[in-house]
A and B are shown apart, each in its own frame.
Chain A
Amino acid sequence: MKKSYVIKRILYSVFVFAVVITLNFFIPRIGVEDPAERYYPPQGNMSEIEYEIIKQATREQYGFDVSPWQQYLNYLEGLTHGDLGMSFRSGSPAVADLIIDRLPWTLVLSVSTMLIGLIIGIMFGVIAAMKRGRWQDTVLLNASTIMIALPSFFIALILSFYLGFEYEIFPAYTDPNMVSNFEWTFASLRNVAQNAALPVLSMAVGSIIGYAQGTRNAVIAVTNEDFILTAKAKGLKQNTIRYKHILRNSMLPIVTSLGMSISGLIGGQVVIEQIFNWNGMGTLFLEANNMNDYPLMMGIMLLLSGFTILAILVTDLIYVLLDPRVTVGDKR
């Protein structure tokens, strides 16, 4: 039963991904009749014939000279060997290369934010739930109320002003040579860590509070369940009840929110990257958007949606491990 559920979920994800690829390909082509016009808008001092020649050259270069259906097939064929098309920026670099250049730098920020948020957040949440109503709980409650009102970019501005400009503890602005000079040495890694400190910190605050609040509520909800009373009536020790009965049951909603946030790992930090001048995916997406570079936008969107689908799939599969009831619906 479990196996069939897993296979079904994987097939379903593949189907969704196929739909996403198709929509991703056709939606940008709906608005403009000639994709070449998007790339090369008409300019004032150009004659009709000149423009036509340029457009024709563009079409051939980007493979727009065949029918949309043929273009779609070519696109699919390209995807099979990781070819996401060519960017419209000068030099026509491959979209895949642009993304591969930026992706690690975004992951540096987002993965460390998530790990910090997850570990510290769950710890705080469990403590607050165990000390329900005491000061530890009150601190968390008030902190999360404040955090709801404070978006991460505001925290980023405050941090960059105080820790960056006033006290100069961390760089307020990312070292422009960080990426080009990067090598696998301790000094270089330390440089990355220092530059990443403020962006990560400004995002981690919200992440910690979010996970802490979620954990606290989940733990408290489970603590009030009947089966915890049963466990107490069995004479189990406090720690057995906590770790074997309460925590495992409270992890379910946390895995859900974790799955949600995994999809944000790639593209969820456009604003923070801007504030700290961090050259990551968010910045790349913004550039693509501003330049009407839609092969690049398509590439980023494809990566984002693929990653989201994968994250949801993994979440669902973890659920099967954590909660035996999940497969029940599959029987129907």
Chain B
Amino acid sequence: MSFDAAGTPLLAAENLSLTRGGRDLFSGLSLQVARGQLWQVEGENGAGKTSLLRILAGLSRFGYEGAVTRAVNPLYLGHHSAVKALLSPRENIAWHPSGEADYAQADIDDALARVGLYGYESLPCHSLSAGQQRRVNLARLYLSNNPLWILDEPFTAIDHAGVAALQARFVEHVAEGGAVLVTSHQVLEVDCEVHRVVVGAGAAA
């Protein structure tokens, strides 16, 4: 685990401003995500949450003002699940293009079991439901050593029990010294401090 080098923030943004289609989505937005913090990005539909997350993750590199510094490449889960329908859950994780590590098969099966995919490891993903396909992607949260998670609507298509398990995982990760930045319209039910950043019109942030 590479979580122990405390001190500098994992992710810092200064004075971010973004205009899309003539509309100011946000301006003068600053935040510092340190180890051990859970951040929730809030805002209405179309407020610019995903745009903000793509900027913070480093996927959008132009077209905005301000500066972003990252201590590490984040583990980013976006709207698209990056799950290949023709591959099994096990293959999807083992050959994942994010290339974070060469996981042992036992670890992969363990992570898949923890997201409720025990018994589905070697079925092609096109035979899984939408929620199960999202869960394949979420299994990475049980494998990765990456301290910084940027998650865009991770609860989409996930059932109640799954959402609770996921929130418990966030708390665990934060307690281990990681950091989580998440967008969701749901209220996070976690027993740790949630830092909030509000995006969009009428935002007092």
Q: Do A and B come from one complex?
A: no
Chain A interface residues toward B at CB < 8 A: none
